Amino acid sequence: MDVTWLRGASVALDVVWLGGGLVGAILLFGLGWAFCARVKTRQLKEIETENDRKVGKLVEKADRQRKEAFLVEKNAWYDSKAKYEETIESKRAELDTRESDLQAQEAEASGRIEVVRESERTLGRREKDAQRLENRLKRQNEELETVLGDQRSKLERISGMNAEHAREMLLEQIRNDLQRVATEIGRERIDQAKEQAEREAKRIIANAIERCSTDQTVQSSISVVPLPDDDIKGRIVGKEGRNIISFEAVTGVKVIVNDTPEAVVLSSFDPIKRDVARLAMEQLVREGRISPGRVEEVVAASEKKIENVIEEEGRRTIKEVGLDKMHPEMVRLVGKLKYRTSFGQSMIGHCKEVAFLAGAMAAELRLDEKMARRCALLHDIGKSVDHEQEGTHIGIGVDLAKKYGEGPEVINAILYHHEEAEPLSPISFLVKAADAISSSRPGARRDDADAYINRVRDLEDLARSFQGVRDAYAINAGREVRVMANAGRISDEQAKNLSFEIAQKIRDEITYPGEIQVTVIRQTVATEWAGRPNNKRRRGRNRRRGDRKNGKSRSRNDADRKDVSSGNHKRPVADLQASVRKEGHDAVPGRNVGKARRVSRPPQAD
């Protein structure tokens, strides 16, 4: 019983606690709701107050801006009014000045009218006097004709022939005598003129040629870029060929990376693109940082450099020839001739030479020397863009001359030097003659086989002229000279100096395309006999037998030399050099080779 009561009491107590907790929770909820409502009401009032304050500020700002805009418009109206009034005043003053000028001109015209009227009166009097004088002269002429008629009648009656017959006989005799004398004099003068003209022409041309001599040899399709070492070729090619493909795509030039030691070859028939590629490649090689992005930046910079070089070359050529100012675009076209060739002859060198020749002949003939030089310099201007435009270089040159304001003498010289128009002045004859002289001058155009063979022989003779040189051979199509040094007279260090001196002398004395490699080979062979008598052993002791040991090498070098001399050198450069190295290593084992030096191409041959 007691347990049951206790259990019921505990349940009742739990119910009481539960009810108290519910009532407390409800009271707390009500209090929290009331507090939140009060806070929310207060926030709404603050927000409304803030909004009202902001709206008031915006209204004040709008009013202020409207007033400022009104003041600005008002000031602008007053300024416009002031300017209008000033304009009206200036116009009124100008009208007053013009009115004064018109009055002065009217007064001056009135004075001139009076002068004209007085002149008319004077002319009337003089006309009357002239009429009276004319009448008197007519009467005197009539009297003279009457007297002459009487005298003529008397002469006809005495001589038995009329005046017409006598006049015809006299005129016929005089005509025959004059014709005979004139024929003799004309024939004599023509012979003298021909002789003098031929002698004078030869003298003028000889003097002009003597006063003008320029080197016209240029390389037509390739440029060689030297490298510090062969390791950089891998960076030029790049991973999977990315660098070289990017370089060729940007420049439009074929890059040849072959077995040529310490060099890459750039091949293109466009000299401007080839020179841009050469400058870009040289800068990339100097930096050593080669990537597709860097290639594009360097090529863009090189193109700007070439444009500057073209403009500078044009200005230098105009100044060198001694001409006056010329249109800037025409100056740029003259500079582009530096990168154009015709049959291996540099066009800018050819045009300068023609200008000097024509100017010299014009000076001798007392013609306009500057005009002759101008016509001669621009006679082939069409060749600067004939690869970019359709038509002959003559038609293009005429269009360019007309477009940039050149005179009719220049246009006629451009047309006449290929006989597409009749000459309008003696200058056109001089330009054509100078063009023919410059084109046909020995050495102006690309060398023939005989000239090439002579150049190769000159290389060998120049190398043999040094002391201590046993023999020399020009191989690899004349791009390499191998010098066999006397080991008893030249040491290893002297062999290095010898290669440098030979390269310097080639650079100073010989004109050549591309570059030439000079290799000095020094070899010592000692021989000793065993089992021979003493006298034979003494004769053979310490004898140098390099020639006998090197028979195979000498025969092969002779074969290379014959191959070069006969012009049979059309194999690829890589194959030639590979065969030369293979033959050299097989023929001369254990040789001491002097330092090989490359002879850089002179600037005018690039």
Q: Is 425:412 a contact under the CB 8 Å cutoff? A: yes
Evaluated on CA atoms 80, 83, 89, 90, the torsion sign reads negative
Q: Which of 116-125, 332-341, 584-593 has the highest mean pLDDT?
A: 116-125
Which residue type does 34 have? Answer: A
Residue 220 or residue 278, greater confidence = 278
54-86 in b/e form (b: 16+ CB < 10 A) is eeeeeeeeeeeeeeeeeeeeeeeeeeeeeeeee
Lowest mean pLDDT among 63-77, 196-210, 211-225: 211-225
Query: What is the separation, in whole angstroms, between the first and last Cα of the chain?
Result: 130
Lowest mean pLDDT among 299-308, 399-408, 506-515: 506-515
Residue 443 or residue 188, greater confidence = 188
Burial class (CB in 10 A: 0-12, 13-18, 19+), 125: exposed
Mean pLDDT of 204-221: 55
Q: What is the model's pLDDT at position 169?
A: 75
Q: What is the model's pLDDT at position 193?
A: 80
Q: What is the model's pLDDT at position 442?
A: 53
Q: What is the model's pLDDT at position 599?
A: 42
DSSP string, 510-572: ---SS-EEEEEEEE------SSS-HHHHHHHTT---HHHHTHHHHHHHHHHHHHHHTT---S-
> C-alpha 184: how far from its chain's center?
57
CA distance 418 to 398: 12
User: What are the tokens at 532?
Assistant: 């021979």
Which residue type does 383 have? Answer: K
pLDDT for 575 beyond 50: no
CA distance 299 to 310: 16
Domains and CATH numbers, the chain: 183-212+322-443 (1.10.3210.10), 214-309 (3.30.1370.10), 449-605 (no CATH)
Residue 452 or residue 362, greater confidence = 362
pLDDT for 552 beyond 80: no
Q: CA Rg, the chain, in Å? A: 52
Q: Give the pLDDT band of residue 483 (cuts 50, 70, 90).
A: very high
Lowest mean pLDDT among 139-143, 293-297, 342-346, 476-480: 342-346
Mean pLDDT of 170-182: 76
CA distance 297 to 288: 14
Q: Phi first, then psi: what are they for 166, rounded to 5°? A: -65, -40
Instruction: Determine the 3-state secondary structure of 594 from DSSP.
Output: coil
User: What are the tokens at 243?
Assistant: 């660098």
Q: Is 546:523 a contact under the CB 8 Å cutoff? A: yes
Q: Give the pLDDT band of residue 163 (cuts 50, 70, 90).
A: low
Q: Is 426:367 a contact under the CB 8 Å cutoff? A: yes
Q: Is 224:265 a contact under the CB 8 Å cutoff? A: yes
Give the other-Cβ count within 10 Å of 403's Cβ. Answer: 11
Instruction: Determine the 3-state secondary structure of 373 from DSSP.
Output: helix
pLDDT for 232 beyond 50: yes
pLDDT for 535 beyond 80: no
**What are the strands, taking DSSP E only, across 343-476?**
345-346, 469-475
Give the other-Cβ count within 10 Å of 295's Cβ. Answer: 25
User: What are the tokens at 41?
Assistant: 């009401």
Q: Is 205:433 a contact under the CB 8 Å cutoff? A: yes
Mean of all residue pLDDT scores within the chain: 77
Evaluated on CA atoms 531, 532, 533, 539, the torsion sign reads negative
Give the other-Cβ count within 10 Å of 594's Cβ. Answer: 24
Nearest 10 degrees: Cα torsion 233, 234, 238, 244: 20
Mean pLDDT of 109-134: 88
Q: Give the pLDDT band of residue 287 (cuts 50, 70, 90).
A: confident
DSSP string, 184-235: HHHHHHHHHHHHHHHHHHHHHHHHHHHH-----B---SEEEEE-S-TTHHHH
Q: What is the model's pLDDT at position 344?
A: 63
Q: Give the pLDDT band of residue 443 (cuts 50, 70, 90).
A: low
Which of 463, 465, 578 is CA-nearest to residue 521? 463
Q: What is the model's pLDDT at position 560?
A: 42
Q: What is the model's pLDDT at position 498?
A: 87
The angle subtended at Cα 166 by Cα 163 and Cα 167, nearest 5°, is 85
pLDDT, tens digit, 9 for 90 and up, residues 8-38: 777 777 788 888 888 888 888 888 888 888 8
Q: What is the model's pLDDT at position 159?
A: 65
Which residue type does 268 have? Answer: S
Q: What is the model's pLDDT at position 56?
A: 85
Mean pLDDT of 357-382: 89
Lowest mean pLDDT among 59-63, 74-78, 231-235, 303-307: 231-235
Mean pLDDT of 201-228: 64
pTM: 0.40
pLDDT for 546 beyond 60: no
Q: Give the pLDDT band of residue 217 (cuts 50, 70, 90).
A: very low
Q: Give the pLDDT band of residue 482 (cuts 50, 70, 90).
A: very high
Mean pLDDT of 448-473: 83
pLDDT, tens digit, 9 for 90 and up, residues 106-121: 888 888 898 888 888 8
Which of 371, 376, 373, 417 is CA-nearest to residue 394? 417
pLDDT for 446 beyond 80: no
Which of 366, 374, 362, 309 is CA-nearest to residue 337? 309
% pLDDT > 70, the chain: 79
Burial class (CB in 10 A: 0-12, 13-18, 19+), 305: middle
The CA–CA distances, whole Å, from 514 to 79, 254, 274 equal 75, 17, 14
